[in-house]
Every structure is written in structure tokens, then in C-alpha cells.
Structure 1
Amino acid sequence: MPDPTSELPAVILEALSPTSQRRILNRRGSAVWDVETGTGRYAVKLGYPIAQTSEWPAQPWTALAPGREGAVFQRLDVDGIAYGEWELGTWNIQPWHEGPDLYALWEPCRAKDSTIEPYASVALSCAQSLARLHAQGWAHGDVQPAHFVIGPDDTHLIDLALAHGQPLPPGYDFPYRGCLVHYEAPEISRSILERGVAEPTPAADVYALGASLFISATGWRAVEYPDDASRTEQRCAIVNGAHRPVNMASRLGALIEHMLSYDADGRPRIDEVVLALS
């Protein structure tokens, strides 16, 4: 069967008139294109449903994710946003952000016998980008290292398809069923295990930022479980176990320890994280 995301749909070609186009990702219900035009550079996302396999159930919500993200961006008054539907789901167009993600940027810190410590200024820029989102009344719901793009002038928090905070078009909305489990707060994992859904919160975002900083600096997941553990097993480990020791001597280590507090009320608010790193 031909790959339907191997070419941009006509609706995107008509909207952008690309001078160059390159698909950079196609996995788990989402394809992302890097598109250059006469007026600028854009990221284009195409969503499509995930078929059932022996490893996971069918996930139709992935087809709606780009349209939902586009609606979130418009609620946030982000310029250069468009979204709509194509034959397999929804799409969005958003400005391209150049730069490495957090995990890639801190790779030298993870090298064997490295004496390079994570820059607090980078952690601060990530916290500030999350703080801006929280200040506008939103929780991100999918904070992870890959979603912080460290640009030359600013850090951009991307992938807002799971963000919650204001009403969205019903046709594009869907229940929140968690995110990449490595970064789920215990209360999120518990809710998913017990009810199948959860509610993203700023406190859960702070936990996820702490877990993102920890894995980017050390290469270790915040909570230990086997690499081949199922998502249910991963969530049980997060709910029932303690996180790994944060053996980082810098002030960043003490802050991450605080951000990974099991109790949501025991974590710092994102503005307190920003203040601690400033």
C-alpha cells in the first residue's frame, strides 16, 4: 500500500506554494514536513489514525491532533498558523523553529567521564517557555526534551496538541490519555491506570520538566523500569516507586529533586522554578 504521507496533500501545496519540501518524520500517526516558501519556512504536520497491532490498540485521535494543535495555537494568538482537514485526518501549518532540542544540546554532558555540567541558562530558557504557556492559562500535557527547541535567540516549546486550558472546536477535541510515560507525573499515571483518562495540570508539567532536565543531563529516566516494560508496567512503576536519586551537585540537582516530588502540592510552581534558575 502506498504511503499517503510521502507527498504533501494538494491543500498544503495550494496554501504554501513550496520552493522546497522535505519529510523529516513519519511515526505513530503523525508526519512532519520542513517546507520552505517564498515568504518563510514552515513546519507542516499531517495526522492520520493508528491501526491496531499486537502492541497497541487502534488510536483514531492521532488523526485529529494537528487540527487540535492548530486550534490551540490560534487561541494563543500565534502568528502564521493554519489548520484544516485532509483525506486521512487533519493538518496544521506553523512557523519553523531552528535549533537542537534539549536532549541533543546536552549530549556532551552525558558522555562517559564528562566534566561538562548542564548550563543553568538552558534550563532557565526551557522553564521560561513553559512559564509563558502557564501564564496564558494552559497546561502543556506533553512536556519532554524533544519539545524544547533551543534557538539562537529563544527557546520554543512545541507540540501543543495535548494542551488544555480553554474550549476548543468539538470536532477536533479528544480526551487526554497521557503522554510519553517517561515524563508522566504520578497523579497522571494513576488516573490513566484507574480511569483511562487524566487532566493535564501545571504541576504535572513541572514534574515533566524536571524529568526532562534529568534525562537530558544524565541519560537516565527519572523512574527506573525495564526497557521492554509495557506502558501499564511503566505507569505502575511511576505510581508505586520512587524516582532515581538526583546525584547532581549543582543547584540544578536540588531543584530537579524538588520538581520530581511525588506529591503535586510539594512541587514548585513554574514561576518559582524560573526564579530559582535566574
Structure 2
Amino acid sequence: MSGPPPELPIVLLDALMPTAQRLVLNRRGSMVWEVKSPRGHYAVKVGYPIEATPDYPAQPWTALAPAREGAVLHRLGVTNFAYGEWDHGTWNFQPWHEGPDLHELWQPYRTGTPLIAPHTGAALGCAEALAELHTKGWAHGDVQPAHFIIGPERTHLIDLALARGGHVPEGYDFPFRGCLVHYEAPEIAQSVLTTGEAEPTQAADIYALGASLLISATGWRAVEYPDDAPRPVQRQAVADGRRRTVRAPGKLGELIEAMLSHAPQDRPTVYEVGKALS
């Protein structure tokens, strides 16, 4: 997919007839546009396979991720979206959510001297968004600060391509092989190391939310490993529980510590997190 700037596939141009479009992301087998059209204001996702390199194997699943997310959105009862296929993979479009992500919103807190405790309203909004998904019987599988969009009225939890909890058409499904290691729970990391795959769980989502709150509030990830360490080395550090000593300030720090408990059964539920924050 190298060469000139990417363009929206013809099928999406025909469906949306954009009046304005902006390329937001183009990396790791995924392109995302912000598109305004007579039909509405959308996030448009287009997937394509990642080709093999001398250092990394091919990743064909990225071509399926937009359609898989579309199938999840359908199961969750979301409206005003669509998904389908194009020449190199799959696509979806869904409502655009305006606002900063959690990491962006809390930037002033982690750069102050000394660190001050963030206002917990945003953290509560993240917990409420995750609780909405958990209530429907799903686990997100890829909770991270960039996936919480703090809107003017509510917080939106986005990027559901890895979610598990209901039927997904076989042609669009693929195994879960972990997510961004900074936010992987120890049991997920260990399973990926041992078998190459894992099963997202709501308890793992809680760990990821705790890690997201920690790095957004302090700038530090939960587990210590070299920045340039290979992925298996990172995962082994997570599986072994090599936690940093850094804590978020205030009562938020105590809650995050519980969320980052090594054993899944020792973590609070999302409802207990919400109660503590409110």
C-alpha cells in the first residue's frame, strides 16, 4: 500500500458521496478517514493485509478487521453504520465521535510538577463506556487510552474489531493474538506466549483500563521493560508481573493498583470501578 496518498475505495465514494474527507490514520494494515457526507459524519475504516518483512511475518487478519468490527456493531445493536468488502480487504463506516482521547485529555496532569491527581470525571466516563459493553456480555480485547473518546455529552469506547462475546461470521473472524502489550493483562500475555492465542475477558479489560488510566495520568506504563524490547520479551515481563513502582496520585492510584492485580479474580469489576470513581 506504499506509493501515492491512499484514496477511499470506489465503493465508499459511491455510498457516501463525501463533501469533505480527511485521512486520520494509515498504518499497520488500517486506514481511517473522517468523512462528512449528505448521509452524516463518519469514521471510515479500510483494512488491507500487512505483507511479510525480514523482521515480521505477514498479517492477513488486518484486512478482515473492519468487517469483523462491523459484525460486532451489528450484534451490539448500533445503527447508522455499514460494512463490506473492497479489492484488498474489508471496510466499515460508523458515526464519528468528536473529542480528545483519554491520553490527550490528561496531558496537563502528567506534565505538571509535582504530579496532581486528574479529575476523576473522565475516568468514570471510561468505566461507564466499558460497563455498557460488559453488560451486553462482551469483552473489548483492545482497551487503551486512544480508544476512549471523551465527548461533550458522554465517553465513547471505539475500535471493537477484537471484541468477543457473540457470533461473528466465519469469513470475517480470526483468532485473538493479543493487543498492544502495554495494556495486556498477565494471563493474556502468558497465553499468547504459550499458545500464540488468547481469549479476551472482562477481567483483562479491567487490567487494561487500569493500565490506560496509569499511563494517561503519569506518562508511565504499568510494566517495566526496555522500550525497544522484542514483543515476546515485553510479554514475558507482563506475564511475570514486573510492575513499576510508579502510582497515580490520590485515591485514583489506589483504585488503579487494584485494577492491575496480577490475578484476574483479585481485580474489581467494572461496576465496582464505577462505584469507586463516583
Superposed CA offset, 1:82-126 (max 9, x none): 000000000000000000000000000111414542111110000
Q: Structure 1 stretch 57-66 or stretch 106-115: which is displaced more?
A: 106-115
Q: How does 1:224-235 map to 2 (within 5 A)?
A: 224-235=224-235
CA gap of 1:239–1:219, structure 2 versus 1, over 3 A, is: same
Q: Does residue 44 in structure 1 map to residue 41 in structure 2?
A: no
Check whether the contact 2:101–2:148 (CA below 8 A) recurs between aligned residues: yes
Alignment of 1:1-278 (within 5 A): 3=3, 6-278=6-278
**Contact 1:5-1:46 at 8 Å conserved across structures:** no
Q: Deviations over 1:192-235 (max 9, x none)?
A: 00000000000000000000000000000100100000110000
Distance 1:105 1:234 in 2: 27
Query: RMSD across aligned C-alpha pairs, in angstroms?
Result: 1.3
> Which whole-Å CA distance do the structure 2 matches of 1:55 and 1:143 have between them?
26
Change (3 A) 1:248 1:10: closer
Normalization by structure 1: what TM-score?
0.97
> Partner of 1:224: helix, strand, or coil?
coil
Residues 149 and 156, structure 2, Cα contact 8 Å, conserved in 1: yes
- Residue deviations 1:36-74, cap 9 Å, x none? 012321010000000111332110000000000000001
Given that residues 117 and 252 in structure 2 are in contact (C-alpha distance below 8 angstroms), is that contact kept between their aligned partners in structure 1?
A: no
Displacement of 1:242 in angstroms is 3.0
Please say if residues 241 and 262 of structure 2, whose CA atoms lie closer than 8 Å, have aligned partners that are also in contact.
Answer: no
Q: How many Å apart are 1:5 and its aligned residue?
A: 6.8
Structure 1 residues not aligned, in runs of 5+? none
Aligned partners of 2:251 and 2:103: how far apart in 1? 19
Tell me the SS of whatever aligns to 1:31: strand
User: Distance between the aligned counterparts of 1:5 and 1:155, measured in 2?
Assistant: 32
Is the 1:108–1:114 contact (alpha carbons within 8 Å) kept by the matching residues of 2?
no
Whole-angstrom distance in 2 between the partners of 1:248 and 1:43: 33
- Secondary structure class of the residue paired with 2:213: helix
Identity %: 64
* Aligned-partner Cα distance in 2 for 1:230–1:224: 13
Question: Residue type of the partner of 2:168?
Answer: L
Distance in 2 between residues matched to 1:130 and 1:88, nearest whole Å: 32
CA distance in 1, matches of 2:241, 2:39: 51
Change over 3 Å in CA distance of 1:153–1:193 after alignment to 2: same
User: Which stretches of structure 1, 4 residues or more, deviate above 6 A after TM superposition?
Assistant: none
Matched residues in 2 for 1:249 and 1:99: separation?
Answer: 25
Indicate conservation of the 8 Å contact 1:140/1:163, yes or no.
yes
1:203 and 1:4, CA in 2 relative to 1: closer, same or farther beyond 3 A? farther
The Cα offsets for residues 115-154 of structure 1, whole Å up to 9 and x where unpaired, read as: 5421111100000000000000100000000000000100
8 Å contact 2:117–2:249 — kept in the other structure?
no
Q: Distance in 2 between matches of 1:56 and 1:104?
A: 30
**Structure 1 Cα separation of the partners of residues 142 and 117 of structure 2:** 26
